Each structure stands twice: as C-alpha cells, then as structure tokens.
Copies of this chain bind each other. A is one copy, B any other.
Amino acid sequence: MNNFIYYSPTEFVFGKNTEHELGVLIKKYQGTNILVHYGQGSAIRSGLLEKILKILNDSSIKYFTLGGVKPNPVDELVYEGIELCRKENIDFILAVGGGSVIDSAKAIGAGVNYQGDFWDLFDKKGAIEEALPIGTILTIPAAGSEGSGNAVITKINGMYKRGIGSPWLKPKFSILNPENCYTLTTYQMACGIADMMAHIIERYFTNTPQVAVTDRISEGVLKTIIEQGQKVIEDRRDYQAWANLMWSGTLAHNGICGTGREEDWSSHALEHELSALYDVPHGAGLAVVIPAWMRYVVDVSPDRFLMFAQNVMEVNGAGKTKAEIITTGIDELESFFRSISLPTNFRELGADMADIDILVAKLNINSGGLIGRFKKLDMTDARKIYLMSCK
C-alpha cells in the first residue's frame, strides 16, 4: 500500500425528492447569485429544470441560466460561461446534468478568476489556485464528476481532449435522485455503466502490492454495477436498482477505489482519441478499448487478472486452468458489454481501422509518447491495442 491522500469533501444528498434541499444547500455554501448550467434540453423536457428554477425562486436565490452543453463538452461554451459569470458577479455554479455539464461547470468555475486564457489550465501552462464553488444535480450516472475533482474539455480547434484535476473542483454538494435517471435511453445507460466500470478497472489493475481493502471495495462496487446495471436496462423505472447503480457510479470515481495504489488510465487515454475523432460516447469507446487493453497487458500480472475473473466476473473455475479462467474473465466482461448493447469493436463503434495512424499521432501529442502505469505503453503498443479493438 502506497502513501495516499483521500479527500472527498462533497456532501452527497441522496434519494427521492432531494432536489427540495437545494435552497438550503446553496445558501449553506454561500451561493447568492448563481449560474444554472445545463445541457441540450433533456432537463427541460423532463421538467427537472423548471422544478429547480421554481425552488430557486421560492428560496429567493438569484440565478442566470446557461444551457447547451454537449456530450464531450467544448471550450467554446466554457468561454461564454466565464464571461457571463464575470459580467454578472456569479458566486456559485449549479450544474444540472451528467458529467459533461458538470465538467463544463468546473471549467467555468476554474476560469472565472484565472487571469489568462482558461485553456492554460488544461495545457498545464497555469495552475488552479481557486475556483467558484459548484453544486450538482446529477441526471446521468456515469462520469463520476459529481464526486471528483476532475474535468475533461475538448478544444474545438484541433479537437484536443484534455483533463484537469484539483481539490478546488470537487463539488460542495451533489444531489443524487435516482428518479432523475428514468428518462435515459438504453444506450445512455449502457455507456454510463461502462464508464463507471472503467473508473474502477483503471484503478484495480495496478502493480502496487498488498492493497487488500481497496481491492475488496473495488470488487464489491464492480459486481454491484454489473448486477444492478442489468436490472435498469431491463426496467428503466426500477428505483432500487438505479439507487444502487447511481451510488456505485459516484464511488467508482470519488477516490475510494484507488486508495494506496498506482492507477493506470491508459484505456481512458486510448478512448479519448476515439471520442474526440468520432464524437462517440466515452462509455461506448471504453467498451471497445478495455477488453483489447486487457488482452494486451494480461501477462503483466496474471494473478491480478485471475482475481478479477474470480472475484468480479465470478468465473466458475471447475475444470479450467488458471490461464483459461483469466481468459474467460475478460471474455465475460466483453460479453457483458455486448449484452447491454454496447459496441465491442471499431466497426460497431463507427470507428475506422484506416484512421489508426491519426489516432496514434494525436495520442502521441496528447500523452507525450507514453501512457499507463500497469504497463507503460508507447505508441507501438497503442497501435496494437487499437488494432486488437478492430476484430
């Protein structure tokens, strides 16, 4: 177990009707003049936004609104948000949506008091030394942004996808009402499930020895996601399944599944180039990349893959060799992705094998030539994994 800092100060307010705590929560965290940030209209269509604005009115909290965040959120709207916050002296940002909206809100919050171009923070030319406080009302359990200090934004000019991380970006509160997930499409749900699982898988495959407690927690959350994920896909109004899945999605990325160990994150890096180039959902790209990545790196630690097969995928080992159990574990993860209608290869994703040179070239620029920790991958490795993703 390595030294670590675990700091997850977000107040998670979970369950039915928890939106009604909004006024109290915003005031508790000193919001008086707020920006309500949202996406492309689903929060309008579901009636959630209207409900929220009414609560704000009833609580005498002044607000401005800025909608239009797209999946894979872009810098353009962040600039607009920063300008609006400066002009109107906004002191708190409320993100209503999924990870894209929350990430966009974080980028705005970080940029408002930064003197230069906010993109400097993503280019590591500037450091985050403060940020406007944000709160979230989550509608898509997937990205884990409601409990993390991370944000990913795409720069339209060049389609570069970059991430930032800082304790300043951790939301003050997140309201998690499973009922707000009922309007998601099956594909959105499935992409969310893959995204959550990826957040744990990127932490679970590590070379740090003796991290038993973090392993057991990770396995428990992963098993829950698989079990409850299947249930919400079968019945999109299964409150209890959503409750377990939604909370799992937060725990997958608030740091608890990573304590004390080196994390990997190469599947995320490989996927970011796919979603930047093809504008496909992050979770769909992950479902394609992860099984290929696993097969490529399995020899780094067969024991860890065996543990994954047995403790997460619950492979029945009777009559199987160790190698067969390991292979079956990866195959069953892929089958699970397929069973919830996710793509598991380039073709199904809408990606083109002929573009691999472009993907690798961009990855090379974005990563500085190496990705991952479980196995440090150079661009030759990356090319092979993209190729294996085409099968």
Give chain A's interface residues, CB within 8 Å of chain B. 1-18, 209-217, 219-221, 223-224, 227-228, 240-241, 243-244, 247-248, 251, 256, 259-260
Contact = CB atoms under 8 A, between A and B. Distances in A.
A13 B18 contact: no
Contacts of A13: 5
Contact of A216 (B11, B221, B243, B259): B221
A11 B1 contact: no
Contacts of A221: 213, 216-217
How many copies of this chain are found per oligomer?
2
A247 B259 contact: yes
A256 B14 CA distance: 13
B18 A14 contact: no
20 contacts: A2-B15, A3-B14, A3-B15, A3-B16, A3-B17, A5-B13, A6-B14, A7-B11, A9-B11, A209-B240, A210-B240, A210-B243, A212-B224, A212-B227, A213-B221, A214-B247, A216-B220, A216-B224, A217-B217, A243-B260
Nearest to A251: B213
A14 B260 contact: yes
Given A213-B247, A216-B220, A251-B213, A240 B14 contact: no
A270 to B, nearest CB: 28
A213 B224 contact: yes
Contacts of A228: 212-213
Contacts of A6: 11-12, 14
Contacts of A241: 210
A213 B244 contact: yes
Contact of A211 (B10, B17, B244): B244
- Among A6, A15, A223, A259, the most chain B Cβ lie within 10 Å of the Cβ of A6
A182 to B, nearest CB: 16
Nearest to A247: B213
Contact of A12 (B7, B14, B215, B223): B7
A260 to B, nearest CB: 7
Contacts of A11: 5-7, 9
A238 B38 CA distance: 51
Given A1-B244, A240-B209, A247-B260, A9 B12 contact: no
Nearest to A2: B15
Given A3-B17, A212-B224, 5 more contacts: A3-B14, A3-B16, A6-B12, A210-B244, A216-B221
Nearest to A311: B220
A366 to B, nearest CB: 31
A16 B11 CA distance: 29
Contacts of A17: 3
A212 B1 contact: no
A159 B14 CA distance: 39
Contacts of A223: 216
B1 A243 contact: yes
A75 to B, nearest CB: 31
A42 to B, nearest CB: 24
Contacts of A3: 14-18
Contacts of A219: 216, 220
A240 B15 contact: no
Contacts of A213: 220-221, 224, 228, 244, 247-248, 251
A4 B15 contact: yes
